Amino acid sequence: MTADPSAAYATAMSAAELVACDDPRGELLLLSASELPHAQLRDAALKVFAGYLAGDPLESLRADIHHTAQEIGAGDRQVILNMEVVALLEATIRRDEDMLRTIIDGSEFTPLDHAHVAVSLAGRAILDWVGSDRAPGVFGALRRQHGISGAP
């Protein structure tokens, strides 16, 4: 039985908000303590943030990850995981189910790893692009857009 997807969306949104509030430990605790299936958390995080990150924000994330790869090596596990999540976000934006399945099936990482990186990238990106004063408004708009309770 699949849990209500709105609970997964709300958890992903709350986790990204924790990242934006400079509480990455809280984000990881929230995700790992969730009783929701980790694959559902991953899918919710990708769907909730793909639209917001489409275009320039995603290109900026990719450039940052490539820069990090040049500094520490493309074989670094965190670099690989980050690039994988960017590829998952791109496939989600394009609604390319075959590409999503190919990446997920071939991944050495867990659904929780993917969810963690997706909400971490999104939380940091939102904070970087709109600042701490406007971030709550962005999260409120995303909550309304996705029908997540608790939207102002």
Q: pLDDT, tens digit, for every residue of 101-119?
A: 999 999 999 999 999 999 9
Both ends of the chain: CA-CA distance in Å? 31
Range 62-65, long-range pairs (CB < 8 A, 24+ positions)? 62/86
State how far the Cα of 30 lies from the Cα of 85, in Å rounded to an integer: 19
Contact 111, 8 (CB under 8 A): no
Q: Tell me, rounded to whole angstroms, the distance of Cα 149 from its chain centroid.
A: 19
State how far the Cα of 66 lies from the Cα of 98, in Å rounded to an integer: 25
84 has a pLDDT exceeding 90: yes
Give percent of the chain with pLDDT exceeding 90. Answer: 57
Q: pLDDT, tens digit, for every residue of 53-79?
A: 888 888 888 899 989 888 998 888 999
Give percent of the chain with pLDDT exceeding 70. Answer: 95
Residue type at 28?
A: L
Three-state SS string across 63-88, please? HHHHHHHHHHCCCCHHHHHHHHHHHH
Q: What angle do CA 67, 21, 84 make, to 5 degrees?
A: 35
State how far the Cα of 114 lies from the Cα of 122, in Å rounded to an integer: 12
State how far the Cα of 118 lies from the Cα of 57, in Å rounded to an integer: 13
State how far the Cα of 108 lies from the Cα of 113, in Å rounded to an integer: 10
Q: Which pTM value belongs to this model?
A: 0.88
